[in-house]
Amino acid sequence: MQKVLVTGGTGYIGSHTAVELIEAGFEVVIVDNLSNSYADSIDGVEKITGVRPAFIKADCASPQDMQQVFTEHPDIQAVIHFAALKAVGESVEKPLEYYKNNIYSLINLLEILKNRGGHLVFSSSCTVYGQPDVLPVTESSPIKKALSPYGNTKKIAEDILADTIQSTNKISGIALRYFNPIGAHPSAHIGEFPMGKPDNLVPFITQTAKGIWPELKVFGSDYNSPDGTAIRDYFHVVDLAKAHVIALKRLIEKGNKTPFEIFNVGAGNGVTVLEIIKSFERATGVKINYTLTDRRPGDIEKVWADTSYAEKELGWKAQLSLDEALLSAWNWEKTIDKQSHAKAQRGG
C-alpha cells in the first residue's frame, strides 16, 4: 500500500480527495494547520471509508514542520498539495500573506522531494488564465497577468514546479488547473464549510437558504453574459477528487509523457451566477433571497474549460450534474448546527 501525503487535507477538496485515495487503496497522511478548516472532517472521512487517515497538525510554510512530517513518515512516496490560502478578494487585501504562505509551502515540499524523490500533484487554478481572449481555454491558452495575488501565486507556483522538476530526475509532477468545484460527498459526512464569511458562491447560497445570512450579494450585474452576471465552470467536487487520484496513478505508473504535465479539470461549460441560483432552487425547492451589487475586485468576467486533453490523456471527465452538486451541498449544509456556524463566523 503506497503512502500519500495530502497537505491541506482537512479542507474542502483535500478531504474529498482523501476519501477517493483511501477507496483506491492508498494509505493517507493528512497535514493541515487548521487555519481555514476543521479536524472534524477526518471523522467524516472515517465514516465514509471505515479508515481513519493519519493526521499531523503542521504548517507547510514552516521548513521545520515539514521535515518533521517526513521524519515521522519516511515512506511517503507522493504528495497531493492543496495547502494554500485561496480567497481571491482577501488576497487583494492581504497580498503578502498569500505570497508567503502559498509560495513557501511549495518550496518547502520541493526542497524535501528533490533530495528523496517522489511524485507531486499540485492544486492549481484557472485563475492563471486571467481574463481569456478566447473561450473555452485549453492548456495552451496564454497565461495572462493575474487579476489577484491569489491567482499570481498559482502562476508562480507552476513556474517553480516546472523549473525544479526540470532540474532533477527525482520528481515528477502534474498540475491540475481546476475551475469551480462545488457540492459535497453524497453521504453528507464532508463538504465545504469555510471559516468566517464564505468567499465562494455555493456555501454562501446554502447558508443564505438556511438563514445564516439575510441575503446573497451577487457581485456584478453588468458583465457581458446572458444575464449580466459572471460566468464560471462549476463542477462536482467528487469528480475533482477522482481527477487527483487518476493523476497520481499516472505518475506512479509512469504513464506521464513529460516529467511535468498540466491538465484543465472542469465541467467544460460556462454557467452564470444567476443560473447557479436557479439550479439550486430547482434541485432543492428552496428560494434564495439575493441582490445584485457592484463587481468585486480581482474577479474575472467569464471563464470555462476545454477539458478534452484531460479526457484523452487521463480518461477523466466530469460525470455529476450541476443539480446533483447543488443538492449535495444543501444536504451537507443541513447537517451543520447553529453552534458550528457561530464558531465558524468567529474564525475558529
pLDDT in tens, 141-191: 999 888 889 999 999 999 999 999 999 999 999 999 999 999 999 999 999
Provide the pLDDT for residue 326.
Answer: 98
Provide the pLDDT for residue 342.
Answer: 67
3-state SS record for 206-268: HHHHHCCCCCEEEECCCCCCCCCCCEECEEEHHHHHHHHHHHHHHHHCCCCCCCEEEEEECCC
251 has a pLDDT exceeding 80: yes
Q: What is the distance between the alpha carbons of residues 7 and 56, in angstroms, rounded to a whole number?
A: 10
Q: Can the peptide bond before residue 136 be classed as cis, meaning omega within 30 degrees of 0?
A: yes
Q: What is the distance between the alpha carbons of residues 315 and 185, in angstroms, rounded to a whole number?
A: 22
Q: What is the distance between the alpha carbons of residues 128 and 65, in angstroms, rounded to a whole number?
A: 29
State percent of the chain over pLDDT 70.
98
Provide the pLDDT for residue 280.
Answer: 98
Average pLDDT in the chain = 95
Which grid cell sits at 236? 462536482
Lowest mean pLDDT of 70-74, 147-151, 274-278, 325-329, name the range: 147-151
With 0-12 / 13-18 / 19 or more C-beta atoms within 10 angstroms meaning exposed / middle / buried, residue 19 is buried
Q: Name the residue type at position 286.
A: V
Provide the pLDDT for residue 298.
Answer: 77
Question: Is the Cβ–Cβ distance between 81 and 121 less than 8 Å?
Answer: yes
- Across residues 42-60, what is the average pLDDT? 98
348 has a pLDDT exceeding 80: no
What's the first-to-final CA gap in the chain, in angstroms? 35
**Backbone φ and ψ of 273, nearest 5°:** -60, -45
Residues identified as active-site: 150
Residue found by looking up cell 467569464 in the block: 302
Which residues are CB-contacts of 328 (< 8 A; sequence separation ≥ 6)? 183, 184, 185, 186, 188, 191, 236
List, in sequence order, the alpha helices (H) in 73-94.
88-93
- Across residues 273-277, what is the average pLDDT? 98
